[in-house]
Amino acid sequence: MSGRSNPAALPETGLTATERLARLRLARTKGIGSATFSRLMGLYGTAEQAITALPVRARLSDRPEPAIPSASQMEDEIAWLEQQGACHLLRSDAAYPGLLAGLPNAPVLLFAQGKTALLSAPSLAIVGARKASSPALKLTENFAAGLAEAGLTIISGLARGIDGAAHRSALPFGRTIAALPGGLDVTYPPEHARLQADIAQQGCLITEYPPGMPANARHFPRRNHLIAGLARGCLLVEAARRSGTLITARLALSFRRLLFAVPGFPGDPRSSGGNDLLKQNQAILVEQFQDVLTALEGAPLPDRGLAPWERPPPRQPSLFAHTGDSNRQKTASRPAITAMPAQQNAPATEEDIRTSDEKNILSLLAHTPSTVDEIASRCQLSISEVAAILIELEINGTVQRHEDGQITRLH
């Protein structure tokens, strides 16, 4: 492994190198997304303990053990990234982009290449049609160059059309970030190979996907999530009503970012999405790049958020405070649900694995989503107890938790 220091990969204060490596291994385990990672960290406190416990859980539930990368495999990946001038960025790293960190569903792990300091610099996303008109491309070039010269970093998705024009015009100022739908070593689209290489040298590449992962249609929503989450605002230049550009715009609004749109010709379908947002007063009309600077100047910066497992647990009121004495006594007498000790390895029966409370919760679940509050309201358990049991069921592959927090039964 290379001994070269990589400032972007420095851990948070108090995080040991061993624990950071464990967090990388846990984050790179297939089936462990950001939500499950956060719940495991909240349950066990450290990634080292979570990694020790996961195989035990799998054996107890008679399921295949998770394919956790070994320490040597992860060290090899770190070394490869360093050779490319790249690094891992964990959600707990100080260099992790602050605006993205403030989102509740922020990725646990990012792969970055180039000038990672740009990830925390003032920035604007510019997105638009792949088959953009000539006037729209010209306007994008003027906006991107003017904003980059004024000190804003331009973020886009390296796609054809508006994205490429925005990157090229901001690149001479060393202020552009490209969010990728695949690994850092994968070029998409192929004709942007030179542009991607230049951004890696003069700007920054960012992705949620590991080296070697090809670009895939399923990855574009997560790439759009990065574009909207990293930027203080988002500018639309030619966006059709049904387009990935409009998805990025909606994400920006949901993240409470400023949304800008250039008005387009009413008869051009490429302008219909942006024009709709302007008519609905959801986007700010801009005609020159100075309009964007003026609006951003007075906009407050969101605070950097704590990782979910770093936040103090919410105080949950009892769901049964208003019920009779029998319910209160039943709730009070129930033993607390605790995390399974990492060292436990005794064989378990089906009854051990499926407690009566777990069976009760499973009986309330269906293939249509339910919220944790809904589940708790229909059983003799508190919200915190239901949440703990759902973690067990999720890790065992019995239930699935969606991005909005709702739960569906898989089996």
**pLDDT value for 403:** 62
CATH classification at residue 289: 3.40.50.450
Question: Does 3 reside within a domain?
Answer: no
In terms of residue numbers, what domain contains 173?
A: 114-297
Question: Does 103 reside within a domain?
Answer: no
Cα-atom radius of gyration of the chain, to the nearest Å? 24
Task: Tell whether 182 and 290 lie within a shared domain.
Answer: yes
Task: Tell whether 153 and 288 lie within a shared domain.
Answer: yes
Question: Does 93 reside within a domain?
Answer: no
Task: Tell whether 291 and 329 lie within a shared domain.
Answer: no
Domain-terminating residue out of 297, 328, 347: 297
Q: Which amino acid is at 146?
A: G
Question: Does 182 reside within a domain?
Answer: yes
Environment class of 27 (CB within 10 Å of its CB; exposed 0-12, middle 13-18, buried 19+): buried
Question: Does 92 reside within a domain?
Answer: no
Task: Tell whether 274 and 381 lie within a shared domain.
Answer: no
Question: Does 313 reside within a domain?
Answer: no
**pLDDT value for 319:** 29
Task: Tell whether 149 and 287 lie within a shared domain.
Answer: yes
- The span from the CA of 183 to the CA of 187, in Å, is 8
- The span from the CA of 65 to the CA of 58, in Å, is 5
**pLDDT value for 36:** 87
Task: Tell whether 287 and 335 lie within a shared domain.
Answer: no
| Average pLDDT by stretches of 10, the chain with 411 residues | 39 76 95 87 92 87 86 97 96 91 89 96 95 94 98 97 97 98 96 98 97 92 94 94 88 93 88 91 94 87 58 39 36 33 33 61 82 80 76 72 76 67
State both tokens at 130: 């792949």
DSSP for residue 370: B
Give 213-219 contacts, CB < 8 A, sequence gap 24+.
Answer: 213/182, 213/183, 213/186, 214/182, 214/183, 214/186, 214/188, 215/180, 215/181, 215/182, 215/186, 215/188, 216/181, 216/182, 219/181, 219/182
Task: Tell whether 278 and 359 lie within a shared domain.
Answer: no
Domain-terminating residue out of 83, 106, 123: 83
- Contact partners, residue 130, CB within 8 Å, separation at least 6: 159, 160, 161, 162, 163
Task: Tell whether 293 and 322 lie within a shared domain.
Answer: no
- The span from the CA of 82 to the CA of 358, in Å, is 45
Angle at 185 between CA 183 and CA 186, to 5 degrees: 70
Helix (H) or strand (E) holding 86: strand 86-90
Task: Tell whether 78 and 122 lie within a shared domain.
Answer: no
Question: Does 367 reside within a domain?
Answer: yes
CATH classification at residue 368: 1.10.10.10
Question: Does 107 reside within a domain?
Answer: no
- The span from the CA of 91 to the CA of 50, in Å, is 17
pTM for this structure? 0.75
Task: Tell whether 274 and 147 lie within a shared domain.
Answer: yes
Structural domain count, the chain: 3
Task: Tell whether 69 and 185 lie within a shared domain.
Answer: no
Task: Tell whether 79 and 208 lie within a shared domain.
Answer: no
Give 330-334 contacts, CB < 8 A, sequence gap 24+.
Answer: 330/380, 331/380, 331/382, 334/385
